[in-house]
Structure 1
Amino acid sequence: MRLIASDIDGTILGHDGTISTRTVEAFAAAAEAGIEIVFVTGRPPRWLDPIREQIGHTGTVICSNGAVTYHLGTERVLNSHVISWDTVAQVRDIVTALAPDARFALESLTGLHVEDGFLGNRIPAGSLNVVPAVLTADIADGGIVKMLAVLHTGNADEFLELVAPGMGALIEVTHSAPELALLEMGPVGVNKAVTLAHYAASLGIDAADVVAFGDMPNDIEMLGWAGAGYAMASGHPQALAATALVAPRFEDDGVAQVIESRLAALRLA
């Protein structure tokens, strides 16, 4: 184990915005042992305060499902992959034809741009610090790294099953919303695993020496790529099906338990 790659929400971070003391201490012990730590999340760079403030992480974070590599200490984008406006327009037409009530938002390197109706009653605007706006081509000037589509009924699995076949090779489609019909769409050929592999290679670390944790469909590729990919026992069935390794439930500090066990094994080796 030379590198630990962990998802954030539902894996180490709860709905209340806190990371357990045991988990914080486990990551600190791993760092002290010389193991590289990288967080790999669907979150954009501006929503990383929990790992900076609670874990004290100031290194690399892979954001927006692999579309952005960000250095938390210097608050600098190291690399990014963007979606063209033409692709946004085509995807919007496809999704709207299949789900006329869908509403959209665009995550760019300059912020989150949401159209009227996207937030609804299930996504509180105050938690996002955004104002609904008309989605126009000039947003692409800021580098669109993720496209979001929401239905205010149903769930993400149903929404994904409805629209994914119509996408072809136009865009990557996934989700990480356990209770909301919210889809996350990114540049073709980009996911958590692809960007993590590049990052690990830059450090001279092979997949076999990577331990990864995740709980949702947007973690599937990462869990399959890592030498030891752990799905959370409390995670989505598709994440659990993607790997033979299962960490205990989030509520039981599953990530901390695995890290503690692996560190103990290293000390005995």
Structure 2
Amino acid sequence: MAPERSGGAAAPKLVATDLDGTLVRGDRSVSPRTAEVFRRLDKSGIVIVLVTGRPIRWLFGVYEQLGLRPLAICANGAATYDPVTDSIVHSVPLSAEALAEACARLRASVPGVVFAVERDGGRQMRHEPEFPVGPWEVNHESVAPASFAELLTRPAHKLLVRAGAQSPDEFTARVGACLAGVAEATNSSSSGMVEVSAVGVTKASALARVARGHAVEARDVVAFGDMPNDLPMLTWAGRGVAMVNGHPAVRAAAHDVTAATNEEDGVAAYLEALYRY
């Protein structure tokens, strides 16, 4: 039997959460308190969905710390991953043609632009030699430099765009305007990197599909997030909750805001109150 909110109203049937800046702390850890709350949700029959911009290769530490293996929507909605079968169960990549068109438009209008692609749900990343990668990705077996031409030979779940130091919101708007009708542009960090997906692909579009598969309506979903790539999901869900440490636009658009940050178990505290744990 699903938990009830105070007053007898049924609590949400599906909990969807972003990872970085939301469920996961800055050191990439998941707190024991958070893991315990999610295990209780799972035992109560609540559907749990991780909804992230992360690639698949960055999920396994989260699964280990949670002690659960819920479905994960990766690459901002482009790939839905089932860790039980280690398979991508739904996929909406950028075609090679769309990649080529997007890169051509950006090369023509953005000085110094460089690219990387996430393939196979992010099991593999290929990047131009000039594209900066994080220290944890250097010499990673799934990450390698490639020529610009090689980046365009296969579909990709996400195109990553950088052009030196940029204002994240302004650069995302510029890239989005340049790619209108070709692809979706968003951002999830303060680094000035823009994340590009196929037209119509967002966290909301993928979560809606997963919810339908569980016969759950949007009104029965609570979703948590902190950055612009979470906005479609938070406005689609019946209860979209922004992190108090989140982007101002996300906090303004959400139905509710957590009382604590991701460093202080904000999602866990909210769920404990919502489900009366």
Instruction: Flag whether TM exceeds 0.5 (same fold).
Output: yes
Structure 2 residue ranges without an equivalent (≥5): 1-11
Residue identity in the other structure for 2:165: T
Equivalent in 152, 167, 173 of residue 161 of structure 1: 173
Structure 1 residue ranges without an equivalent (≥5): none
Question: Segments of 4+ in structure 1 off by > 3 A?
Answer: 137-141
> Partner of 2:149 in structure 1?
136
**1:173-192 maps to which residues of 2 (within 5 A)?**
173-178=185-190, 180-192=191-203
Say if 1:98 and 1:162, in contact at 8 Å, map to a contact too.
no
**Partner-residue secondary structure (3-state), 2:195:** strand
Residue identity in the other structure for 2:147: V
> Partner of 1:245 in structure 2?
256
Residue identity in the other structure for 1:10: G
Say if 1:30 and 1:259, in contact at 8 Å, map to a contact too.
no
Say if 2:94 and 2:157, in contact at 8 Å, map to a contact too.
yes
> Partner of 2:230 in structure 1?
219
More deviation, 214-223/165-174: 165-174
Please tell me whether residue 111 in structure 1 is matched to residue 124 in structure 2: yes
Say if 1:210 and 1:226, in contact at 8 Å, map to a contact too.
yes
Aligned residue-pair number: 261
> Partner of 1:30 in structure 2?
41
Following superposition, the deviation at residue 131 of structure 1 comes to 2.0
Following superposition, the deviation at residue 59 of structure 1 comes to 2.8
Residue identity in the other structure for 2:148: L
Residue identity in the other structure for 1:238: A
> Identity percentage over the alignment?
38
Following superposition, the deviation at residue 127 of structure 1 comes to 7.7
**Partner-residue secondary structure (3-state), 1:131:** strand
> Partner of 2:212 in structure 1?
201
Q: Tell me the C-alpha RMSD between the 2 structures.
A: 1.7
Residue identity in the other structure for 2:213: S
Say if 1:85 and 1:137, in contact at 8 Å, map to a contact too.
no
| 1-structure distance, mates of 2:107, 2:89 | 34
**Partner-residue secondary structure (3-state), 2:185:** strand
TM-score by length of 2: 0.89
Following superposition, the deviation at residue 51 of structure 1 comes to 2.1
TM-score by length of 1: 0.91
More deviation, 57-66/159-168: 159-168
Change over 3 Å in CA distance of 1:66–1:127 after alignment to 2: farther
More helix, by proportion: 1
What CA deviation, in whole Å up to 9, does each residue of 1:209-249 have, x standing for no partner? 11100000000000001111101010111211221311122
Say if 1:212 and 1:222, in contact at 8 Å, map to a contact too.
yes
Equivalent in 266, 269, 276 of residue 254 of structure 1: 266
